[in-house]
C-alpha cells in the first residue's frame, strides 16, 4: 500500500462513512495498523478521545476520527491528515477490507491444484481457485470469483454463488445452496444428516431419512466447526447477512432470519424459527419448535423454552426479561441473608406458636 491521504479519501468517501478531510492531504500512507501501534506512514482509526490523545504524538500519517474530535488535531495538521467519520467502527471495517485484508488469492500453486478431484459434470466459473485435495462432485455449480481452499468437499448437486470463500476442510453437503459473498470457515459442515429418529415400544431407534437441504442467503458467515443439519423434508435456512461465530449447531428445519448475530456455543433444536436481527450471545440454547420474534437479544447463557413474542433483551435460563433478571439475580445473591432472617424469626415465633397449639 502506498497512497496519499487525498487518494484514500477520494477512493472511499461517503460509502466508507468518511465525510471530511483536513490537514496534510498529500502525506503518504504505507500501512493500516491498530491505533495502539501507530507510527509514521501509518493510517489508524481511533474510537474515542483517549485513543486520539495517545496517537497524536506518534507522527502517524493519517488519522480517522469520530465527528467532533477533528478540532483536537489542530497541532498536527501540518504533517498529518485527518479524516472525519460518522461511524468510525464501520469505517475501520471497510478501510481494512480495502487496504489491510489478507490476500487469499495468492496461493502459491496453479489456479486449480493438480490433486483436486472434479467431476466432469461440474460447472465451475473460469476464475475459481481450487486448492489441494478438493473434491467437487457430480452436478455441482460454482459461480465466479470463488475460492475453494484445501481439502474442501462439495457434494453432489450443491450450488455455490459468486465470490464465496470456503476455508480448508469444510464440507458442503449434497443439494446445499450457498448465496453470493458468503464466508465458510474451516471444518464447518453444511448439510449434515439431521437428528431424526422414531422409536418402537422397546425404544429401538429408527432413522428418519433427512432429504431436505441447507440454504444460505447472501453475505452469510458460517464459523469454524459449525454444523448445520439438512431438513427432514424441506430446507434448513440461514437468512441474508447473518453471521455465525465458531462452534455453533443448527438442527434440521431451523430457519434463522436476516442480519442475526450468533455467538460461539449457540445450540438450536429442530424446527425453530428465529426472526430478523436476533442476537444470541455465547452459550445460548433454544428448544425445538419455537418461534422467536425479531429484534431480540439473548445474554447470560440464555435458555429459551417457549416462544418469544416481544422484542427486547432476555437473560438467564429459563429466560427472563432483562429487568426481571436483574431483580432476580439481586434476590438470589441475598438468599443467605434472607434465610438467616427467616430462621431468627422462626426461633422468636416458635414459643408463641407452641402456646397457640
Just list the catalytic residues: 252
Treating both helix axes as pointing N-terminal to C-terminal, what angle do 322-333 and 335-356 enclose, rounded to 10 degrees?
70
Give the span between the Cα atoms of 191 and 143, in whole angstroms.
19
Cα–Cα separations (whole angstroms), residue 304 to 237, 288, 297: 20, 9, 12
> Nearest-CA neighbor of 227 among 198, 262, 197?
262
Give the span between the Cα atoms of 23 and 114, in whole angstroms.
52
User: Would you call the peptide bond into 318 cis, given omega within 30 degrees of 0 as the criterion?
Assistant: yes
Phi-psi region at 175: left, alpha or beta (left = phi > 0; alpha = psi -120 to 50): left
- Own/partner contacts of 64-73, CB < 8 Å, gap of 24 or more, are 64/18, 64/88, 64/91, 64/92, 64/95, 67/19, 70/20, 70/22, 73/22, 73/23
Provide the edge-to-edge strand list for the sheet that holds 249-250.
117-118, 135-136, 153-154, 171-172, 189-192, 227-229, 249-250, 267-268, 285-286, 303-304
> Nearest-CA neighbor of 153 among 183, 117, 177, 107?
117
> Nearest-CA neighbor of 185 among 201, 169, 163?
169
Angle at 49 (CA atoms; ends 47, 55), nearest 5 degrees: 80
Cβ-based burial of 347 (10 A; exposed 0-12, middle 13-18, buried ≥19): exposed
Backbone angles phi, psi at 231, to 5 degrees: -70, 160
**Three cell numbers written together for 107:** 496461493
Amino acid at each position: 500500500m502506498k497512497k496519499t491521504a487525498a487518494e484514500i479519501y477520494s477512493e472511499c468517501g461517503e460509502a466508507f462513512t468518511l465525510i471530511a478531510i483536513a490537514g496534510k492531504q498529500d502525506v503518504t500512507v504505507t500501512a493500516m495498523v491498530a491505533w495502539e501501534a501507530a507510527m509514521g506512514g501509518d493510517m489508524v482509526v481511533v474510537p474515542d478521545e483517549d485513543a486520539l490523545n495517545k496517537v497524536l504524538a506518534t507522527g502517524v500519517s493519517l488519522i480517522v476520527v469520530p465527528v467532533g474530535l477533528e478540532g483536537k488535531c489542530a497541532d498536527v495538521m501540518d504533517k498529518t491528515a485527518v479524516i472525519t467519520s460518522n461511524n468510525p467502527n464501520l469505517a475501520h471495517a471497510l478501510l481494512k477490507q480495502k487496504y489491510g485484508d489478507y490476500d487469499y488469492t495468492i496461493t502459491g500453486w496453479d489456479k486449480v491444484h493438480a490433486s483436486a478431484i472434479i467431476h466432469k459434470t461440474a460447472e465451475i466459473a473460469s476464475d475459481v481457485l481450487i486448492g489441494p485435495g478438493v473434491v467437487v462432485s457430480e452436478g455441482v455449480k460454482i459461480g465466479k470469483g470463488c475460492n475453494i481452499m484445501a481439502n474442501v468437499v462439495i457434494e453432489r448437486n450443491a450450488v455455490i454463488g459468486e465470490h464465496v470463500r470456503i476455508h480448508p476442510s469444510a464440507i458442503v453437503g449434497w443439494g446445499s445452496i450457498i448465496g453470493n459473498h458468503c464466508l465458510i470457515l474451516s471444518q464447518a459442515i453444511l448439510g449434515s444428516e439431521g437428528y431424526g429418529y422414531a422409536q418402537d415400544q422397546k425404544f429401538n431407534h429408527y432413522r428418519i431419512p433427512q432429504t431436505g437441504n441447507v440454504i444460505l442467503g447472501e453475505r452469510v458467515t458460517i464459523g469454524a466447526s459449525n454444523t448445520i443439519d439438512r431438513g427432514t423434508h424441506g430446507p434448513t435456512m440461514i437468512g441474508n447477512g447473518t453471521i455465525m461465530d465458531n462452534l455453533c449447531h443448527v438442527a434440521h428445519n431451523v430457519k434463522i432470519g436476516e442480519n442475526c448475530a450468533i455467538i460461539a456455543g449457540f445450540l438450536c433444536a429442530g424446527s425453530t424459527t428465529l426472526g430478523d436481527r436476533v442476537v444470541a450471545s455465547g452459550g445460548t440454547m433454544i428448544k425445538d419448535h419455537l418461534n422467536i420474534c425479531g429484534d431480540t437479544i439473548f445474554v447470560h447463557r440464555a435458555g429459551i423454552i417457549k416462544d418469544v413474542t416481544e422484542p427486547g433483551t432476555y437473560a438467564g435460563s429459563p429466560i427472563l426479561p432483562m429487568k426481571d433478571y436483574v431483580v432476580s439475580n439481586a434476590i438470589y445473591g441475598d438468599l443467605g441473608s434472607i434465610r438467616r432472617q427467616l430462621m431468627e424469626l422462626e426461633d422468636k415465633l416458635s414459643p408463641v406458636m407452641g402456646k397457640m397449639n
